[in-house]
Structure 1
Amino acid sequence: MSLLAEEWIPVLCRDGRMAWIAPHQISDPDVVALAANRADFNAALMQLLIGLLQTTTPVKNESDWVEWNDIPPSADVLQQWFSSVGGAFVLSGDGHRFMQDAHMSGGAECSIDALLIDAPGGSAVDKNTDHFVKRNTVQSMCPHCAATALFTLQTNAPAGGAGHRTSLRGGGPLTTLLVALQRRSLWHDIWLNVLPQREFMQHAGDAKKTAPHFTFPWLADITAIQAPGGETQPMQVHPHHVFWAMPRRIRLDFGEAREGVCDICKRVSTQLISRYFTKPQGLNYKGPWRHPASPYYETKEGWLPVHPQPTGFSYRNWLAWVLGSSQSKKEVQAATILSYFVAERRLRPSSDIRLWISGYDMDNMKPRCWYETTFPLYSLPRDSRTARKNLQELIKRLLEAAELAAFYLRQAVKHAWFGELDARGDLSFVDKAFWDTTEIDFYQLLKAAMHSVSMEASEQEGFPQFAMRFGEKWHTALFAKSLELFSKDIVGLTSQGNPRRVAEAHRRLRGALTGKTIRDVLHLPVMEKRVSSSDPA
């Protein structure tokens, strides 16, 4: 069974129909999006198709890329591109299999649902704690869903016990991909994330390692890349290997396949799979890896990929994941795909593109949540380094002020409810309400700031005046929204606390929001005397 010949990828068509296509059909203009039944499958399939194109496309430079963006390749052309890697995409049989250990014999038997990252583990079943994701809901998969689940696991692999490795980017990495705001076609969304080969080959890896198993590790014994008990560093493999990493040693069991309905896609299959076998000691990825679809942050040990956190995604992450930042003494670099887009891609207008962000928030082996959202990019400054620097500095100040306002609000709620008591508890819902409530104001201000930067206003009027102009607007929004949340949505809706304590907490909140600290962050003049009105200025 070849995954390059089978029609196995679920997609949405322009007329609303759902269909299944082969990889070489992704340039069909009627195909507009992926349509798997699981969100993590859609994210994984997108990465698989990007990796397939990045590995096979002959596009050498940006001019070549633009030609295929304007006029997508035909299905015949794509088949020609993919034909060189056909042997790596065979899912079943006695030989090499897609994403499976070719030389593994025996191993621990696992039910097929264990391929799903959110499936309840043995401990959850034993303790009867599988409340939200129930056991035995997925008892068999068709080969197509099993292939998707397998790729999803290898790409996001969390810790799996002794010797069961995490993915090349660690357990549950954050993935950021470019997509069109208005659906043009699936091809164009995928193609946005493909780099010219000349650019891609500059990334971690050894381009001279052209033997197929240095790209697709399942085409040889694991020892061809990594010594027993050893590590896999970037220079041990080809740069394209980053898309096809295989930290887990797995072998799907087709021996007892039967006919029936797949528990995931609900289609009838003659080869339902109910189990697989696994062994420890897969490829152990260490060293300076750089996956092109993940932002990275700097540590004493080097650059590490960003992972989702329990707080989820909000505009507080926009600067770091879109332009990179050095907030909170932590240097963050945007994903290579996005950095290249900002610096080199001349698509106009860039406001038609958004950043699709997704990933599992993992607590070691346990998935706490799947997060997914999109960030607007608006009209990112491209040509002027000064304009981009001004924009980064402005957004940094806006976010620092928002962090302060969220802290002030949280402290005020705590004081209103508990007074001076050293009460402990989870007040994260206050932060969540704050970031959600101020999101629209932030993006409206961001869009206006970008327009101002594109018109070179920040350079003409000088950065201090530019920053002050937007800082005043943001300060006004933070003041109004914070007080509204306190008075109407949080403290005002509860019966806790006494009126005097609530009034004192409200007074403190107003004072903090109009005080020197937050105004200094926004580089606003400190008020000598506060006017007794609802306006902070």
Structure 2
Amino acid sequence: MLSRRTELVSEVDPTGATRASPLNLLVNQWLPVRRRSGQLDTISPAQIAENDDPAVALDWPRADFRIAALEFLIGLLATACPPKGARDWFDGWQVPPDAATLDAAFAPLAHAFHLDGPGPRFLQDFEDLVSDAEPVERLLIDSPGASTLRQNTDLLVRRGRLADLGRPAAAMALFTFQSWAPAGGAGNRTGLRGGGPMTTLVLPGDRPTLWQQVWANVPLGRPAEAEDLPRIFPWLVPNPSRDVVPEDVHPLQCWWGMPRRIRLDFAMAEAPQACGLTGMPDAVQVRSWRQRPRGSNYIGWGKVHPLTPHYALKAGGEFLPLHPQPGGIGYRHWLGLVAAAPDGLRLPGDSVATWRDEREVDSQVSARLLAAGYDMDNMKARAFLESEMPLPARADDALATRLVLSANQVAGLLRSAVRYALFSAGATVKLDSELLSSLRERLWEQTEADFFRLLSQAPADVSQRRLVRLRALALALFDEAAPLTPENGGAAPRISRARRNLVFALTGFGKEGAALFTTLGLPAAEAKAKKKGKAA
């Protein structure tokens, strides 16, 4: 039977009573992991590189906690002991540090990572806040908000899912919330990267250890100096409402942004109780939290966070963090997640770019891309999206760009053809309507395997194969959406004309067809010769 070791320490006061010691996130064992053998365990951050039955996955019961915990560990190494150069990174890849080495590197930061107890508290306001208590479940980004509860519309994600959290789960909920904080009403700031940012991580090799997953994404840098810590960890000093630009604080604050003024409420139990989320016992439970508005307002942090792709709306414009959108994450997002878009307006995260430029060659292993994040509708979480895909070498970028752009062009042709076929002239139908968007999504989904297969094989006639596949699928989807049936008899002329024009473009004719052939690098289509005044 799988077991999990827990070692949240306790102490005895002068009266002989036992009480829980404050939880320190760098000293205590609080991270749930699964080891290569399948054994469940709880470790401290310094144990992530253990070689004897190494940890291979974080074992939080929520996907957002798992991704955020990877961010926490990457940010911790980037702050305490980043590689100084490519050689230093390679040494850490070849021979991971032992727990004692990491403990020594983390020690100068430990005072900033107390979750409870006296003094500064991790990611919590420097002052004790006077405010109404909120139930702890509302620290979870997907929990229904106050407006949803008032209107009694919490239908899919119900209120009252959990009443308390042990300190490990509360710490992870707090970090996730502060890192990805969505809009929260007047004065409640979004995260440093905006609400619900996209996170992209490199997963190296077939069965990477937890250390390899983390180290693959740690940027180059220098360990934080003692005098810089108040500019890195904003909870170490009083932090009244202010605008925070990168020039005013240390760049490492990108890992430790604190947009919300929050204090957790800790309650001591007579005996250890099971956490409402993980089941792990803890003598201290968090049942509520308090917040005040007007925390740090992060401005101009585009292109700073290494794990997030960025985009600009126009040349010379400000770069903004990318956020997941409805429809999931797939190869259609390749330009911007994996490689820069040709127009330079979409850029992958630095961790992905660094891996493909340098670390893939040094490590001599292939990798996959993990992309994840909340699809947010202002304050409401519509879904948590997570996707993995192969991460081919940089040499494949030109071909990948052609394949992605051609699919985007064909998806646009299909969408326009179906709209023309089904709706009369003058009808108000947006291109992002559910029907037209679903056709576009299905084309992307059904060509994803073909995309990676062509990238891996790169046959001589790759462009022609791509065209044949896109043409066949687009016409099949058109015929399904706009069939020539008796029920559509009145629309038959429009349907026939729309299909003919779609075939025309997919054969390379017209402005759109010529653009498609140019993207694929195919020779321009030639019109058939006319005979006796009639088209042959």
Q: 1:472-487 alignment to 2 at 5 Å?
A: 472-487=464-479
The correspondence for 1:268, drawn from 278, 281, 288, is 281
Q: 1:353-392 alignment to 2 at 5 Å?
A: 353-381=367-395, 391-392=396-397
Aligned partner of 2:8 in structure 1 is none
Q: 1:144 to 1:363 in 2, by over 3 A?
A: same
Number of aligned residue pairs: 490
Is residue 372–residue 385 contact of structure 2 (8 Å, CA) maintained in 1? yes
1:115-155 deviation line (CA, Å, top 9, x unaligned): 11100001111112111111111221111100000000011
Residue 396 of structure 1 and its aligned partner are, at CA, apart by 3.2
Aligned partner of 1:455 in structure 2 is none
Separation of aligned partners in 2, 1:362 and 1:494: 40
Aligned partner of 1:231 in structure 2 is 243
Q: 1:151-166 alignment to 2 at 5 Å?
A: 151-166=175-190
Separation of aligned partners in 2, 1:58 and 1:147: 23
What amino acid does structure 2 have at the position aligned with 1:325? A
The correspondence for 1:434, drawn from 419, 443, 465, is 443
SS at match of 1:277: strand
The correspondence for 1:312, drawn from 325, 328, 336, is 328
The correspondence for 2:412, drawn from 407, 411, 414, is 407
Aligned partner of 1:456 in structure 2 is none
Q: TM-score, normalised by structure 1?
A: 0.85
What amino acid does structure 1 have at the position aligned with 2:522? L
1:77-134 deviation line (CA, Å, top 9, x unaligned): 1111111111111111121111111223312321101111100001111112111111
Separation of aligned partners in 1, 2:263 and 2:26: 20
1:56-82 deviation line (CA, Å, top 9, x unaligned): 116322212111111111111111111
Separation of aligned partners in 1, 2:61 and 2:528: 56
Is residue 351–residue 378 contact of structure 1 (8 Å, CA) maintained in 2? no
Separation of aligned partners in 2, 1:34 and 1:98: 21
SS at match of 1:211: helix
Q: 1:24-423 alignment to 2 at 5 Å?
A: 24-29=46-51, 30-57=54-81, 59-197=83-221, 210-222=227-239, 228-255=240-267, 260-289=273-302, 290-299=304-313, 301-327=317-343, 331-345=345-359, 347=361, 352-381=366-395, 391-418=396-423, 422=427
Separation of aligned partners in 1, 2:277 and 2:106: 27
Separation of aligned partners in 2, 1:52 and 1:240: 10
What amino acid does structure 1 have at the position aligned with 2:327? T
Separation of aligned partners in 2, 1:218 and 1:301: 32
SS at match of 2:244: coil
Residue 393 of structure 1 and its aligned partner are, at CA, apart by 4.5
Is residue 257–residue 274 contact of structure 1 (8 Å, CA) maintained in 2? no
Is residue 27–residue 186 contact of structure 1 (8 Å, CA) maintained in 2? yes
Is residue 350–residue 377 contact of structure 1 (8 Å, CA) maintained in 2? no
Residue 525 of structure 1 and its aligned partner are, at CA, apart by 2.1
Separation of aligned partners in 2, 1:54 and 1:125: 40
Q: TM-score, normalised by structure 2?
A: 0.85
Aligned partner of 1:508 in structure 2 is 501
What amino acid does structure 1 have at the position aligned with 2:382? R
Separation of aligned partners in 1, 2:440 and 2:73: 37
Residue 492 of structure 1 and its aligned partner are, at CA, apart by 6.1
Gaps in structure 1 of 5+ consecutive residues: 202-206, 223-227, 382-390, 453-465, 532-537
Matched, 1:8 2:17: no
Is residue 7–residue 20 contact of structure 1 (8 Å, CA) maintained in 2? yes
Residue 528 of structure 1 and its aligned partner are, at CA, apart by 2.6
Q: 1:530 to 1:310 in 2, by over 3 A?
A: farther
Separation of aligned partners in 2, 1:58 and 1:418: 58
Residue 235 of structure 1 and its aligned partner are, at CA, apart by 2.0
Aligned Cα root-mean-square deviation (Å) = 2.6
Q: 1:350 to 1:519 in 2, by over 3 A?
A: farther
Is residue 197–residue 321 contact of structure 2 (8 Å, CA) maintained in 1? yes
Separation of aligned partners in 2, 1:369 and 1:429: 17
Residue 28 of structure 1 and its aligned partner are, at CA, apart by 2.0
Separation of aligned partners in 1, 2:485 and 2:165: 49
Separation of aligned partners in 2, 1:219 and 1:19: 31
Separation of aligned partners in 2, 1:265 and 1:497: 55
Is residue 268–residue 283 contact of structure 2 (8 Å, CA) maintained in 1? no
Aligned partner of 2:488 in structure 1 is 497
Separation of aligned partners in 2, 1:255 and 1:346: 48
